Amino acid sequence: MSEPACRRVPALLLAVLSALVLVLGLVTGAAPARAATSTATATVTTTSTTAAAASGTFHQVGDFGPNPGNLTMYSYLPAGLPAGAPLVVALHGCTQTATDYEHGSGWPELADTYRFAVVLPQTDAGNNPLSCFSWFDSGKDTRGHGEAASVVQMVSRAETLYGSDPHRVFVTGLSAGGGLTADLLADYPDVFAGGAVDSGLPAQCATTQSAAAGCQSGGSGLTPAQWGDKVRGSDPGYGGPWPRVAIWQGTADYTVRPVNGTELRDQWTDVWGIGQTPSSTRNLPGGTTLTTYDDGTGTPAVELYSVAGMGHGLAVDPGSGPDQCGTTGAYFLAAVCSSYYTARFWGLAAPASGGGLPAPGGLAVTGSTAVSVSLSWNAVDGAVSYDVYRDGTKVNTGAVTGTSYTDSGLSAGTAYGYAVAAVDSTGSDGTRSATVDAATTGAAPRCYTADNYQQTVAGRAHRSGGSTYANGSGQDMGLWNVFTTHTLEETSPGYYVIADAGCPR
């Protein structure tokens, strides 16, 4: 006997919708969560468990400047946040809004505790039928274009409005937001000190909608070097430092398959040049396994968090504990507070079991040469040593037991940002100091801002057909006219790269 029509139609409709999601590359959370319902709702309208409310201000920022991606900017600002604080950019998943992500992700509560601002970009159905960020569209997710350019413009606006530290800017995102996060880290490694890809895709995995479904199912068969080339090709001429990347993946995710976590690991360890052999592996709450890949100084550069039994979504752990955060709901799945462990990886949060020493005061630049910068700071009671950070990356390989340090091996005529943290007897960093800027002596990178016609006349670019291309890098600068303006940086004689986001990059 054939199945009754009243039962066949819903099943057929579900199959058609699922196929449409994959064909369009619209990453949505259709997989069952850990002990969750079998069908996720379209938006986060109800919750089962909540965490303590944040105490700052969540608001829309009306005019943030050029907006080629047609996005909306929201911000969360803790009360009394001083200038020089870090900035976290948090990208929602499909069918969500910035308000949903502010409510469920736990980032505002962490911002209150550890003192940083949060920017929450929002896309909508006018850009994508399911309000997904366009991680699969090369016209929207590449440097200087579309949504990627709009997000970086939001960063620039936040730095102006809130005095955010430009050396401590981080980006994180869920699902399609995670895919765009990986793209942003590849496109703008000069802007972001670190990132976290939650249930997302490798950078530049797909360049068209038709290729997006293959990325979601994973298993592209690329080598780590081929994955790494996708990052290196996103900003030609850039040689580091690279962002530190956290990867979160549920083992029961049937929307963005777990192999994507492995491919992301392959991609970013190759970019860092550190191979795919773990430096350490340990267990965290919620059935989470953390695998760490250290750089040459022994500092974690890439971390892969695998959450056993978790479906498609962001791992949260509501509660009042120091390592808890978030609110459960559609695509916010009870397991572990991923936002806390991500913030800890970036150096924004102290370990729940220790640390917590105050930031050293009086950090100052005491001298510089063409290849070095010397620093000093005030002692912190209880500190057994200190860690020194350059542009968000720890630079000392051994214990700094005094209150001064000289960082060497730098580039001439280049600006750097430094911060210092006190280390307690458990080996845990306390709060980092505010960043101070320092510059080495010697010739600075040469930067030129002009319209495409003038850049061509000056010999920094060339015309092919009706378009303009930077000499050396060959980057597409757009139409050959006097209306399109770019900043070009000469990174080596005759080699120019687009540096619209800031020069030197």
Kindly state whether residues 311 and 420 are assigned to the same domain. Answer: no
* CATH number (domain holding residue 182): 3.40.50.1820
Phi/psi of residue 214, each to 5°?
-65, -35
Q: Name residue 393's beta-bridge partners.
A: 390
With cut-offs at 50, 70 and 90, classify the pLDDT of residue 25: very low
pLDDT score recorded for residue 393: 78
Specify if 307 maps to a domain.
yes
With cut-offs at 50, 70 and 90, classify the pLDDT of residue 10: very low
With cut-offs at 50, 70 and 90, classify the pLDDT of residue 23: very low
- Highest mean pLDDT range out of 47-51, 389-393, 475-479? 475-479
Q: How many CB atoms lie within 10 A of CB 16?
A: 10
Kindly state whether residues 338 and 431 are assigned to the same domain. Answer: no
Kindly state whether residues 164 and 221 are assigned to the same domain. Answer: yes
Spatial CA neighbour of 178 closest among 76, 55, 261, 75: 261
pLDDT score recorded for residue 21: 42
pTM (2 d.p.): 0.70
* Percent of the chain topping pLDDT 90: 66
pLDDT score recorded for residue 36: 31
Cα(249)–Cα(484) distance, integer angstroms? 41
The residue that leads in pLDDT, 208 or 402, is: 402
pLDDT score recorded for residue 54: 65
Residue 461 reports pLDDT greater than 80? yes
Q: Which of 424, 439, 454 is the last residue of a domain?
A: 439
Kindly state whether residues 245 and 275 are assigned to the same domain. Answer: yes
Specify if 469 maps to a domain.
yes
Specify if 186 maps to a domain.
yes
Specify if 475 maps to a domain.
yes
pLDDT score recorded for residue 432: 83
What is the SS3 assignment for 182-240?
HHHHHHCCCCCCEEEEECCCCCCCCCCHHHHHHHHHCCCCCCHHHHHHHHHCCCCCCCC
- Highest mean pLDDT range out of 205-214, 230-239, 405-414? 230-239
pLDDT score recorded for residue 442: 79
The residue that leads in pLDDT, 382 or 342, is: 342
With cut-offs at 50, 70 and 90, classify the pLDDT of residue 430: confident
Looking at the structure of the chain, the number of domains it has is 3
Kindly state whether residues 329 and 381 are assigned to the same domain. Answer: no
- Highest mean pLDDT range out of 37-46, 118-127, 391-400, 451-460? 118-127
DSSP labels for 274-301?
--SS-SEEEEETTTEEEEEEE-TTS-EE
Kindly state whether residues 427 and 322 are assigned to the same domain. Answer: no
Which residues are known catalytic residues? Answer: 175
Kindly state whether residues 244 and 264 are assigned to the same domain. Answer: yes
pLDDT score recorded for residue 6: 31
Specify if 246 maps to a domain.
yes
